Structure 1
Amino acid sequence: MDYELRHLRAFVAVAKVHSYTAASRDLLITQPALTRAVQQLEVALGIQLLTRTSRSVELTAAGSEFYDKVLSIVAELDRAVLSIQGRQELRIGFQWVLPAPWATHTISEFERATGVATRLLRRDDVEPHLERGELDVAVTRTMLKSADLEHALLFDEERVAVVSSSSKLAGRRTLSWQELADHPLVINTVNGTTQPELWPPETRPGCIVPCENFDEWLHLVAAGRGLGALPRSAARSTQHPDLIFIPLVDAPAVPVWLAYQPRRRNALVRKFVSIGLNVGALEGK
């Protein structure tokens, strides 16, 4: 079939960001050249992969299926090239705020022990990126659903309440877990650690303010749209002039996991998981 690796890379770049303009910047080529590469791939395959509107670029059903398969192939090829050139790297995904100081200690120890660089990639939904091989391992505070992934429990974190500085609760020294549910609650529905199911059915929050990522969550809580809760390490790493952090009483702990694909568990992944578990055991004491 008459296509080359550059055609596949062009398609993957556009599909990933849903924009020819942004993808051309990522690949450092002109937008017309990128457009031609994608069109040539579609002609070679005899299939329309992308649909273009005035506002965005979307995958067709066939394009979505092709993207999942091609992304895995391109990722494997990149790993092979880095390996043969002696420039291996470990790609570590995370959903929002990495647990500290665990992340710093683990990454430093891994790089010292292996001589391999790490690359941190924030992804709101790490699961498909792990499945396609775009990530080697991911730090997550929620159990991922795919049966193809394994999880290694690092440690449990305490939660703290997060309220707007304008809230009448801002001066409180502590809040109870149940008290949190008696107020409007901002919930990150994609990867947040605080979900209504953590309360008994009869005492669950009556008012939920949904959002889909950590940045939206921060702004909604700061604006006083509702209360929230964070793992303690995330609260320590979060700086916002309009947020107040208050210890929570009787709140369930937040488990922190490393997730990875068993079939991609090479020596580097095994080493990172081993170091991560050792560091987690020390910090969890």
Structure 2
Amino acid sequence: MNLELRHLRALVAVDDARTFTDAAISLGTSQASVSRSVATLERTLGVRVFQRTTRSVTPTAAGQRIIEHARRVLDEARLLEEAARDHAGELRVGYAWSALGSRTITVQRRWEEANPGVQLIWVQSNSATAGLAGGSVDLAVVRRGLNDPRFTETLIGTELRYAAVATTDPLARKRFLRMADFAGRTVAVDSRTGTTVEDLWEPEARPSSLRPIQGVDDWLTLISTGKAMGMSSEATATQYQRPGVAYKPVRDAPPIPVFLASWKDDPSVLLAAFASLVRQVFTENRGTGSGGND
């Protein structure tokens, strides 16, 4: 038997996403690679793990048991990787779109001053857990609840919401926007990691449509060409300045909660120290308009 961790990661990713396409996005690889890994695993084990149709991917009875074992193996592998990183002196922080906006530099500087032997590394991952589930990071900045019993989430602050519009759009001339300015418009959203949902608007002010996108580059391209508006956090407005895109605060929009997510069974004192530092920086900069997901 010649199973590898990448086969198990592909297996679990498909089970979480229930599509090979979304599993590939969460792993940062191609759909073909995920399909090959699952096929190799099925061939090696001699059982079919998933039932595939044109509309869905669901585990078989045998597959469900195999997936449970795979999760346990990956959890143990993750603990090994974390132990190695602790020894190497680094803390890896994942994020889906933006880290902490303009607060990122302050956090980086203060962390290095207080922890000279532990390197702080930021890692972007376009997955719902910002790389946490895959074991590539020690903790993650997320802007909506993960609803996963494996993880714990700590609220570290809130961010303002900003509209993103084409610079040729008449709305770009306003100092700020309101939720009603989105009425009848197309809004680009990332349903995997984003925070913009239709329920944010009152019925009479809702956009005419929500256009799904995959990642910040797709989002910015649609907005800069005038094909859609967007709404995101302070951090996105700070981190992703793009020619043709103007950011405007949305005055009556609810704030976005920002969480640090980590594994429930991780006792690392580094995580607690990082959470305390970030919470302090948010408190000091509350309401300054610094520092995302759509």
Residues 163 and 245, structure 1, Cα contact 8 Å, conserved in 2: yes
Distance in 2 (alpha carbons) for counterparts of 1:77 and 1:254: 34
Comparing 92-101 and 106-115, the one that deviates more: 106-115
Q: 1:20 to 1:162 in 2, by over 3 A?
A: closer
Distance in 2 (alpha carbons) for counterparts of 1:40 and 1:172: 56
In the alignment, residue 240 of structure 1 is paired with which amino acid? R
Shift of 1:225: 1.4
Secondary structure of 1:93 counterpart: strand
Distance in 2 (alpha carbons) for counterparts of 1:220 and 1:99: 24
In the alignment, residue 192 of structure 2 is paired with which amino acid? V
- From 155, 158, 164, the equivalent of 1:156 is 158
Q: 1:147 to 1:69 in 2, by over 3 A?
A: closer
Equivalence for 1:108: 109
Residues 71 and 134, structure 1, Cα contact 8 Å, conserved in 2: no
Secondary structure of 2:164 counterpart: strand
Equivalence for 1:178: 180
Shift of 1:117: 1.6
Runs in 1 of length 4+ with deviation above 6 angstroms? 20-23, 38-42, 58-61
Normalised by the size of structure 1, how large is the TM-score? 0.75
Distance in 1 (alpha carbons) for counterparts of 2:43 and 2:28: 18
Comparing 13-22 and 175-184, the one that deviates more: 13-22
Distance in 2 (alpha carbons) for counterparts of 1:39 and 1:103: 41
Q: 1:126 to 1:108 in 2, by over 3 A?
A: farther
Residues 159 and 231, structure 1, Cα contact 8 Å, conserved in 2: yes
Secondary structure of 1:212 counterpart: coil
Equivalence for 2:169: 167
Comparing 265-274 and 65-74, the one that deviates more: 65-74
Shift of 1:144: 1.9
Shift of 1:185: 1.6
Specify every segment of 5 or more residues in structure 1 that has no aligned partner in the other structure, as ranges: 24-34, 51-57
Equivalence for 1:26: none
Please list the CA deviations of residues 14-66 of structure 1 after superposition, one character each: whole Å capped at 9, or x if unmatched. Answer: 7745569989xxxxxxxxxxx9xx969964x555789xxxxxxx998747656
Flag the structure with larger Rg. 1
Does 1:71 find its partner at 2:74?
A: yes
The 5-angstrom pairing of residues 259-278 of structure 1 reads: 259-278=261-280
Equivalence for 1:212: 214
Count of aligned residue pairs for this structure pair: 260
Distance in 2 (alpha carbons) for counterparts of 1:135 and 1:256: 17
Shift of 1:155: 1.9
Distance in 2 (alpha carbons) for counterparts of 1:131 and 1:240: 31
Shift of 1:92: 0.9
Specify every segment of 5 or more residues in structure 2 that has no aligned partner in the other structure, as ranges: 12-26, 51-56, 288-294
Q: 1:112 to 1:226 in 2, by over 3 A?
A: same
Identity of aligned residues (%): 25
Secondary structure of 1:275 counterpart: helix
Distance in 1 (alpha carbons) for counterparts of 2:184 and 2:32: 46
The 5-angstrom pairing of residues 57-136 of structure 1 reads: 62=63, 68-83=71-86, 86-114=87-115, 115-127=117-129, 129-131=131-133, 133-136=135-138
Residues 94 and 126, structure 1, Cα contact 8 Å, conserved in 2: no
In the alignment, residue 97 of structure 1 is paired with which amino acid? S
Shift of 1:138: 0.8
Residues 90 and 117, structure 1, Cα contact 8 Å, conserved in 2: yes
Residues 75 and 133, structure 1, Cα contact 8 Å, conserved in 2: yes
Residues 162 and 228, structure 1, Cα contact 8 Å, conserved in 2: yes
Distance in 1 (alpha carbons) for counterparts of 2:120 and 2:111: 9
Residues 162 and 243, structure 1, Cα contact 8 Å, conserved in 2: yes
Does 1:191 find its partner at 2:187?
A: no
Distance in 2 (alpha carbons) for counterparts of 1:188 and 1:165: 22
Shift of 1:10: 5.6
Residues 130 and 141, structure 2, Cα contact 8 Å, conserved in 1: no
Residues 88 and 116, structure 1, Cα contact 8 Å, conserved in 2: yes
**RMSD value, Cα:** 3.5
Residues 178 and 203, structure 1, Cα contact 8 Å, conserved in 2: yes
Secondary structure of 1:281 counterpart: helix
